[in-house]
Structure 1
Amino acid sequence: MERLAPNSTGKCIQMCPAREKEMRIRENLIHPLEKVYRSERSVLDPAFMVKSYSRSAAGRHEIPTQDLRPGPVLHTTVEYLLGRVAQNNERPWAEVYDFIFDRLRAVRQDMTIQQMDGPEAITLLEYAVRFYIYAEYRLCEEPIDKYDPKINAQHTQECLKQLLSFYSACDSCSENRVEFESLYLLFNLGQTEALQHYYELPSDIRKDKVLKQTFSICLDYYLRNYIRVLRGLKSECFTQHPLLLCAFHRNLSQLQMNALRIMAHGFSSKALKYPLHHLADQLWFDDSDACVSVCQFCGLQIQDQEWVVFLKTSFREPEKKIQSVHVSGIDSLLCQRPLCKLLLHKDKPIELSVLKQRTDNSCEPPMPVPPCGVFTEYNQASNLSKPQTGRGRGRGRGRGRGRTGQEEKYSMPKGQSERTCQGQVSGVNLLEYESENKTNMCENNMENERVRSEMNATFVKKENKQSVLRNTERFTGESWEEELFTTEDMKIPTT
């Protein structure tokens, strides 16, 4: 069992420990997203390498503090991942998600080992939950070999419960608590445990408008009043917080099937025909074709592509879960907000020069960069080699692949790796730089860095107007309020 000395704090002031940098450069385990573009080409800067997740090793009882990152460094790392890497448009976003997922897991591992709690841990978990929920919606149409929703849901649930426990233990109420209490209710829609948790909250939290409306929707879902649920989600409280709609979206396909089952019994008649376009509007289908596909999947009959015939004898439970699809209304709401604002609640991402300055001011010795030819050949090889498919060698269960998973897909052929790196990088041993004077300097610099990080975080002054979703066809469309939210739709029938 890995452990750390009581009341000890990590001393690594960079996003990746020096020993891991040395090993990964030597073994060619540099992920393409860890490179930066300079002079119109991708080059390696060790300052932008991020610590990868690795499982506990058998017989390893203690972790050196030089391999653990303290709270301010973890905060800077997560800001870099969600504010910069997540906006990468050069590679498929499923690959971007896979990289950030692994690095966030390493961040949470450092938090757990150091037993972090309080406002610092709360902020890191809030960032992680927003990313998981956003990714679940954006990647909902991806095949299982590129994105596993079950694993993502497990980590989301774990972070949410840990976050709520920190809220309860923290004396001062977080300004974002209402947002994440609402996310917890919608993520666990219909669960009695989530409904009971609402009544255990402090009275001042329960009185919040957004949380009260969220609980009302969860109660309507529990009572199987599905049309009222979908109408309630069109209110201004939810259109201003699109992540709440993303958290609900994972339950949308199940809601649609449950609603069709009830209508098949309630409107069961051979002489009755239900208008297809009205059904599509009620159940949040983007068009009639999507509604027809789901109805036929459930055994319902469609006449003239305009009418649905509900018969309780024809309805059948689907053997497979209905595939989740994007909703144009949610897409348009997400497009209206920069990804940095959505995930970090910051107008501008962290400037790369500021991040470089923070890492260069650390106590760790600078990483010697190999000659240009080494990484030039590596870049060419990584562009020509195709990622492995399926469960690659070195992968464990879930997405925690350690150092032989995600990066291994982009390593050079064995012969080329030995030829380019032998005698140039493998001989580097950063431990030679360590001494008592360096250790003392490390502690002083770490304290100064923590003070600077807490006092002021510098961000770029030039507004980033490029949207991360500009090249994604699904993430376009008209404003959802204008497209779907009309005054007539918001009226609840009195009979």
Structure 2
Amino acid sequence: MDSSSAVVGLCLEMCPERERRDRESQGRLHQFEIQNIQWTYKGRRGRGRPIADSKKTVKEYRRPAAGKELSNPTDLRTPATLVKTVQYLLMEIWSSVNYKDLSSLAKAYTFVFDRLRAVRQDLIVQRIRGQAGALVLEGSLGFLLCAPYLVRDLPLADYDEVLHSTQVRECFAELIECYKGGGRFCRQAEFQSLLLLYDLGNLDTIRRCLQLPSEVQQWPHVCLAIDINKAHLENNWVRLFRLLHQLNCLQACAFYRHLSRSRNKALCTMIHAYSSRNCRFPLYHLTRLLALDSPSLTANMCTQRGQTVISGEQTYVLFLKTALNDVEPELPNREIVLVEQKKGKASWSEVMIGQDNVITNLT
């Protein structure tokens, strides 16, 4: 598409004034967007409606449909405003989340997810590419890759895994197009590695990566992700889990969707390889091989699959392939060793946006 004919946004606020007025009058403001303890009173019964805070209101996502104008320049945010919006959503809204309160977590997730879709919509309508587009998409992907780990306990009504995955893939596709335009992108190698980890074992993704410039291919992030893909394709599970320990927090979140299935395949392979009534496999060693957080989790995985755990001075597992039960991989759960310890003292918002890209003053 010819970018020279694209409409140019003029809006310098996170939400266009017209939308802010409309949603205020219709009572469609989110709790993150209203002024504190201030209400308008209309009607004989004195019913109040919240007043929008212009510094907190963020443009919501609208589905393209007949009769809905999405290309009005005054309703489209400039590239700088889109970057500011992504920073605000992650560093102000998401940083205030109470992860122990599922209701608070659900409200924050649905709000940030929707507003980031609107950010991408403005990006697409204006056909913004290059460094400006990459900066917006990199921040958005940081959230989209970490969120599945953080919202894993939310019900389907609040977290639609299929819709979320679709947004991740579309974001990656648009980001790769930004990189193809040429120029210097500080985080290109990092996000190429994240795509390799998210699309684990996808031969098309690996092939495209091997066609990248040599300076990108040779970057440690990319080399590590390629090695993990090789170990996966070769069913070399011991090597794969050793390599996983080298991932940083954001990379571990990108791989998280494959973790349960990889552990299941690794354990089933070991059950067949070490199947013998005279063989005792140390439970502690198996826990380390599978990068699990505790021996009790490992023992539970083994017993679920029909294997015998023998307690004593040391605890062992007796592998028998004839007793192997065909069970579904465990549901995604909390991962301290592979995910949370890698975060260190950084906040989740800083992991998402990249600590070197944090803007401390958003006003």
* Equivalent in 228, 239, 243 of residue 250 of structure 2: 243
The answer for the alignment partner of 2:361 in structure 1 is 351
- Take 1:341 and 1:83, find their aligned partners in 2: how far apart are those partners? 7
Alpha-carbon contact 2:143-2:353 (below 8 Å) kept: no
Q: Could you tell me how far 1:335 is from its partner in structure 2?
A: 4.0
Q: Could you tell me how far 1:262 is from its partner in structure 2?
A: 0.7
- Take 1:141 and 1:301, find their aligned partners in 2: how far apart are those partners? 30
The answer for the alignment partner of 1:11 in structure 2 is 10
The letter of the residue matching 2:171 is C
The answer for the alignment partner of 2:32 in structure 1 is 33
Residue 151 to residue 60, structure 1, CA distance change in 2 (3 Å): closer
1:302 equivalenced with 2:309 (yes/no): yes
Deviates more, 1:251-260 or 1:16-25: 16-25
Alpha-carbon contact 2:232-2:240 (below 8 Å) kept: yes
How high is the TM-score relative to the length of structure 2?
0.86
- Take 1:80 and 1:188, find their aligned partners in 2: how far apart are those partners? 29
1:86 equivalenced with 2:97 (yes/no): no
The answer for the alignment partner of 2:195 in structure 1 is 184
* Equivalent in 74, 88, 96 of residue 82 of structure 2: 74
* Equivalent in 86, 105, 110 of residue 98 of structure 1: 110
SS at match of 2:152: coil
1:124 equivalenced with 2:136 (yes/no): yes
Size of the aligned set, in residue pairs, is 342
Q: Could you tell me how far 1:285 is from its partner in structure 2?
A: 1.3
Q: Show structure 1 runs of 5+ residues with no match.
A: 355-495
The letter of the residue matching 2:230 is L
Q: Could you tell me how far 1:173 is from its partner in structure 2?
A: 3.1
Residue 61 to residue 43, structure 1, CA distance change in 2 (3 Å): closer
Q: Deviations over 1:380-404 (max 9, x none)?
A: xxxxxxxxxxxxxxxxxxxxxxxxx
Residue correspondence of structure 1 range 100-249 to structure 2 within 5 A: 100-168=112-180, 170-235=181-246, 238=247, 241-249=248-256
Alpha-carbon contact 1:242-1:333 (below 8 Å) kept: yes
- Take 1:296 and 1:63, find their aligned partners in 2: how far apart are those partners? 58
Alpha-carbon contact 1:80-1:349 (below 8 Å) kept: no
Q: Could you tell me how far 1:332 is from its partner in structure 2?
A: 2.3
Residue correspondence of structure 1 range 317-466 to structure 2 within 5 A: 317-318=326-327, 320-329=328-337, 330-346=339-355, 349-351=359-361, 354=363
Deviates more, 1:21-30 or 1:250-259: 21-30
- Take 2:156 and 2:319, find their aligned partners in 1: how far apart are those partners? 33
SS at match of 2:242: helix
Q: Could you tell me how far 1:59 is from its partner in structure 2?
A: 4.1
Alpha-carbon contact 2:129-2:177 (below 8 Å) kept: no
How high is the TM-score relative to the length of structure 1?
0.64
SS at match of 1:15: coil
The answer for the alignment partner of 1:283 in structure 2 is 290
Q: Could you tell me how far 1:268 is from its partner in structure 2?
A: 1.2
The letter of the residue matching 1:124 is V
- Take 2:68 and 2:35, find their aligned partners in 1: how far apart are those partners? 34
Alpha-carbon contact 1:84-1:349 (below 8 Å) kept: no
Q: Could you tell me how far 1:309 is from its partner in structure 2?
A: 2.1
Q: Could you tell me how far 1:85 is from its partner in structure 2?
A: 0.7
Alpha-carbon contact 1:125-1:163 (below 8 Å) kept: yes
Q: Could you tell me how far 1:344 is from its partner in structure 2?
A: 2.4
- Take 1:108 and 1:80, find their aligned partners in 2: how far apart are those partners? 15
Residue 336 to residue 300, structure 1, CA distance change in 2 (3 Å): same
Q: Could you tell me how far 1:221 is from its partner in structure 2?
A: 1.2
- Take 2:241 and 2:298, find their aligned partners in 1: how far apart are those partners? 16
- Take 1:188 and 1:77, find their aligned partners in 2: how far apart are those partners? 28
More helix by share: 2
* Equivalent in 28, 48, 53 of residue 56 of structure 2: 48
Q: Deviations over 1:294-317 (max 9, x none)?
A: 223333333348332212222233
- Take 2:225 and 2:163, find their aligned partners in 1: how far apart are those partners? 25
Alpha-carbon contact 2:250-2:352 (below 8 Å) kept: no
- Take 1:6 and 1:209, find their aligned partners in 2: how far apart are those partners? 39
Alpha-carbon contact 1:195-1:219 (below 8 Å) kept: no
Q: Could you tell me how far 1:37 is from its partner in structure 2?
A: 5.6
Larger Rg: 1
Q: Could you tell me how far 1:208 is from its partner in structure 2?
A: 1.6
- C-alpha RMSD of the superposition: 2.5
Alpha-carbon contact 2:189-2:221 (below 8 Å) kept: yes
**Bigger relative contact order (CA 8 A; separation at least 6):** 1
- Take 1:290 and 1:98, find their aligned partners in 2: how far apart are those partners? 32
Identity of aligned residues (%): 29
Alpha-carbon contact 2:264-2:329 (below 8 Å) kept: no
Q: Deviations over 1:313-368 (max 9, x none)?
A: 222332x442011211221222421344322234654435x2xxxxxxxxxxxxxx
- Take 1:36 and 1:222, find their aligned partners in 2: how far apart are those partners? 53
Residue 97 to residue 46, structure 1, CA distance change in 2 (3 Å): same
Alpha-carbon contact 2:70-2:125 (below 8 Å) kept: no
The letter of the residue matching 2:318 is V
Residue 5 to residue 164, structure 1, CA distance change in 2 (3 Å): closer
The letter of the residue matching 2:55 is A
Alpha-carbon contact 1:83-1:339 (below 8 Å) kept: no
Alpha-carbon contact 1:12-1:67 (below 8 Å) kept: yes
Alpha-carbon contact 2:24-2:51 (below 8 Å) kept: no
Q: Could you tell me how far 1:11 is from its partner in structure 2?
A: 2.1
